[in-house]
Every structure is written in C-alpha cells, then in structure tokens.
Amino acid sequence: MTTSLPTTLSRQVPPAGPIQACDGQGLKALTAAGLAWLEQHQQVVNALNVFPVPDGDTGTNMLLTMRAAYKEIAHSADHSASTVIHQFAHGALMGARGNSGVILSQLWRGFARGIDGVVAFNAPEMATGLREASDTAYKGVVKPVEGTILTVAREMAEEAAQAAAETGDLREMFERVVARSRVSVANTPRLLPILREAGVVDSGGQGLAYIFEGMLRFLRGEALEIPTALAEEAGLQSTLAPGEAGYGYDVQFILKGHNLDVPTVRADIDAMGDSTLVVGDTNTIKVHVHVHDPGVPLSYAIKQGIVCDVVVENMQEQYQQFVMNRLPGPQDAASLRAPAPPTIRVAASTGKVGSVIVASGDGLARVFASLGVAAIVPGGQTMNPATEDILRATESVTAEQVIVLPNNKNIVLTAQQARELSHKQLAVVPTQNIPQGIAAMLAFNPEASLGDNVARMQAAIQGVMCGEITTATRTVEIEGVAASAGQIIGLVNDELVTAGEDLYTVVVATLEHMRASQGEIITLYYGENVPPDDAETLAGRLRARFSQQQVEVVEGQQPHYFYILSTE
C-alpha cells in the first residue's frame, strides 16, 4: 500500500490514515484477504442454491477459482499492480470452475485490462478497473440475467465511480463498494423471481460480496476468521476453531481406488474433524478436513486405496502468524492446488473430428466410450472441471477439430472459455445434461466436417427431456411444488416437478412430466448408491406401468442422483 508519498508501505499492516494508492504487493494482500474471507463463507454460499438438490457448489467453484488465481501470485514480489493482477487473472482464467467461477475469472480479467500498465492504482483507476470488470463479465455471457453476480458487479462499479469523484481514499472507497454490494445482493430476489420464490439471494453475487468484504476487513485491520459463536449460529464451524489441542491441522489429499463409496468416506471423514469437504466419484475422491491428528484421516484413507497429493498444514502456526500480520502470509503453492480431475483418454480419434465429453460416474463413462468419444473429463455437479482440465483433454485428442459436450449447464461457460484459449479448432455443443450428450453423440460422425457435426448434434438435442431423482436438502416451494427436507424429488430439465416419500411414485410422476407415454424408449441410468437389483425391480414396475414403451436399465454410477431418466 502507498500513501500520497511515493513510498510503499508494508503489505502486512495497512496504514492508519488515508490510502491514496495500491501497488502490486498491496493488491496481493487484498486478494489474499478476499480469498480467506470467501473460504470462511464457502458453505454459506453453497447453501444458497435455488433448488434443494445435494449439489449446490457455487461457493466451492468460486473458492477453487480464487485459489487457482492466488496460486499464480503466491510467491510474487513484484510491486506493479498491473503485473500482479494480470498474473492473478490468468490463474483465475485457467482455474475457473462452473458458471460462477468463469464469471469471476472474467471480472478479474476485465479489472486487469482496466488498470493495465499501472504500477500503483488510485481511486479513479480502481473505478475504471471495476467498470471494465463488469463490462467484460457481461460480454462473456450470451444472455445476461439481472439479479445475478453480474448485477452485483455492475452496481459495485457504479458505486466506485461515484466514490472516486468524491474521495481519493481507497479505504473509504472499499467501504462504499462493499456497502453497495450488500444492498445489491439483498435486492437480487426482487430482480429474479426464482430467487424470491426459493427464499434465497443470488449465490454468485453473495460470493463476490464476501471477497470484497474480506478486502475491506484487511484494510480495517479486522480479523479474517468467523467467531465461533457466529459460526455455530449459522450452522457452521469456523475453519480456525481451536480445540483443546489448539487449532490443529488442515489436511488435504486425493484418494484413488475402485468402487469407492463417496457417501461413506464423507461420513467417516466428517466424524474425524470439521470443515469437511469430500467430493469425487468411485475412482477419485478429493478430501479436505481439519483435525488435531492428521494421521487419523490419512491412515483411514490408506486402507481404502492409494493416497496422493497430500498437504498437511499446521493451523496453529498459521493462526499465530495471522495474529502477528493480520493477514495470512504467502502460502505454499501446494496448499493452493485445486482438485484437478484427471483426463481419461478413451480412444485415439481416427476421423477428421474428435469429441470430448464431461461425465461423472464410471457407468456413464463407459456409455460414452461405446459411442466413440476421444476423451472424457470426469466431472459434473460438485466436481466441475476447470478450464485447464477441458483444455488438457482437447489437446490430448489427435484430431485438430474437436467438439466439446459439457453435459451440464454449469460447465457450458467453462467449455466456451476453453474454446477461446485452445490452439485447435474447437466447437462447443451446449449439452446441459447426460441424455442430451448421448443424443448428440448418436448423431456424431467423425468423418463429417466440424460444421456439419455441430449442426447435426445441435438438432439432435432439441426436445430431449432429462429427468433426475434425488433427495431434497431443504424445505422449499418453487412454482407450486412443495418439497420437505429429506423427501425424494424429481426434476425435469432442471425444474422441480414433484416430491414425495415413495421412490416409485416420484419416478412415475417425473416420467409423466416428461411425456414418457408418448415416446418409445424409457432409459434409467442408476446412480452409485443404487443396487443393480433395485434398479431392475423399479424397471419391472415401470414396464407394467408404461406397457407400450421399452424400458432399459443402464449402470450410470453418477453421484447424488438415484436415477437419471431419458425418454425418446
């Protein structure tokens, strides 16, 4: 940080008086603070999912995007704000996950463009950076929707412009921008009816507000951890909550194996400590937990399979350093590593055009492999792949023309961002679910041109209906459908259509919303926690109910969802 004098003050202690400018190291401190505060509120943001499904991941995606961004500057000693933010934006771009992460990366990209060449930005330059950030994010979305993170970013930029005309103090400017962000987030339900109906604010906008609130807390010299009492009141545990043995250890690792039981691993790990995050599939699980004895989760994991990418950090030492500096010091790059799902190469591309798809579950991967895909990126809900993961997959394909099928509405923007960065001729067919992806691959011809394939695949996914059966995570009423926490719910094309206590009844109601009786084939892709015999029993009952249709059963092994349904 710098005052009006041309000297740079320590990044560890913000000045007591007005802050006239911010250099690269000051910006590094701000981003670290924003990252720390977002991490404290990750689960709060996740819980703001509109639909009561067990895969709300906006907070996780934004956090992993911020971690990837900060990793790029963790050891930087550069004093140029322009240099630091360009590095930060590049890390965010490559590490962006989910729609919220992609938009966040575009915000940083725009901010970097707005202060390009500036060594230490002042209030007007910060306002320019925030305006460019908002403009870039809006341009990155085909159909911008108000009442989202885009609205919050725009209104923060508007407030920054007004503040810059009235004050040169960056601290005061941050106070006004953060205050405006809170008002903007609170107003999102008025702009977006689905938020009002679900009783939540926009999760991406809230995540962005937390990032800037963390920056402001650093400028004020305030703590960047949540007091235990407030965390318990919010139904959370502070990630730095001490026990009798102090603050304990932050443990992260990847567990690899065969037929891993993700829910069981999650429950077992959660019983060992707090701040638990366990995501993955039957082959690869990413684990994060805070414990007082790191040997406990590691020993447990070794008994389950192969353990790799182990990171153990002493949070007591970190906290003591935090107390001294009011901000966590530069973190080791390994501790900032986001869980990058490996690319599974299925087959060499033998035609003019290759295909890359995203799918979660070994069964679904086998289905796509049988349809001739060149590469599969493991991922889906709660495990959105990063831009870099999709790029790596496309580069592994021998064909110079590649089509990407994201198969998830939350991965479409990531795939499109990868297209902009790829050296290959890359096209994205915006499949939003597994049935659409399968329909697209059935229309795929590796010997046809890229344009012909895109046209054929886009035509094939029109009108494809996708049903999903899962469990409600909270009580809610959306568009006239009421669901209680713990009930079985059915969704059609991502809209809640039915809820109940009986699985068969919910499946039938979901299929009726899909107009299954008007089709010829009903396909059930059963999830990782559904025994094959149970799936066959359900299929038998459906054959009796839909006697004019053919009912097929396919092992999907997808997490979170008992069944994915398709009709044709």
CA distance 428 to 414: 10
**Which tens digits make up the pLDDT trace of 424-468?**
999 999 999 999 999 999 999 998 999 999 999 999 999 899 999
What is the number of alpha carbons within 13 Å of residue 172 lying toward its C-beta? 16
Is the pLDDT at 329 greater than 60? The verdict is no
Q: What percent of the chain has pLDDT over 70?
A: 85
Q: What is the mean pLDDT of residues 17-23?
A: 90
Residues whose CB is less than 8 angstroms from the CB of residue 349 and which lie 6 or more positions away in sequence, other chains included: 355, 374, 397, 398, 399, 446
Confidence label for 335 from pLDDT (cuts 50, 70 and 90):
very low
The whole-model pTM stands at 0.76
Q: How far apart are CA 381 and CA 564, in angstroms?
A: 13
Q: How confident is the model at residue 332 (pLDDT cuts 50, 70, 90)?
A: very low
Domains of the chain: 24-224 (1.25.40.340), 249-326 (3.30.70), 344-461 (3.40.50.510), 465-567 (3.30.1330)
Instruction: Please state the rounded mean pLDDT for residues 304-312.
Output: 83
pLDDT band at 8 (very low <50, low <70, confident <90, very high): very low
| Mean pLDDT in residue range 162-167 | 96
> Left if phi > 0, otherwise alpha if psi is -120 to 50, otherwise beta: which for 486?
left
State pLDDT tens for residues 191-219.
999 898 888 899 999 999 999 999 999 99
pLDDT of residue 55: 62
Count the neighbouring beta carbons within 10 Å of the beta carbon of residue 392: 18
* Tens digits of residue pLDDT in 92-107: 999 999 999 999 999 9
250 pLDDT exceeds 90?
Answer: no
Residue 277: per-residue pLDDT? 66
Pairing of strands 249-256, 284-291: antiparallel
Give me the chain's average pLDDT, please.
85
Q: What is the per-residue pLDDT across 356-413, written as a single tens digit (0 to 9) for each? A: 999 988 899 999 999 999 999 988 766 789 999 999 999 889 899 999 999 999 999 9
What digits encode the pLDDT tens for the residues 480-528? 899 988 899 999 998 999 999 999 999 999 999 999 999 999 999 999 8
Predicted pLDDT at 57 = 83
The rounded percent of the chain whose pLDDT value lies above 90 is 59
Pair 424, 394: CB distance under 8 Å: yes
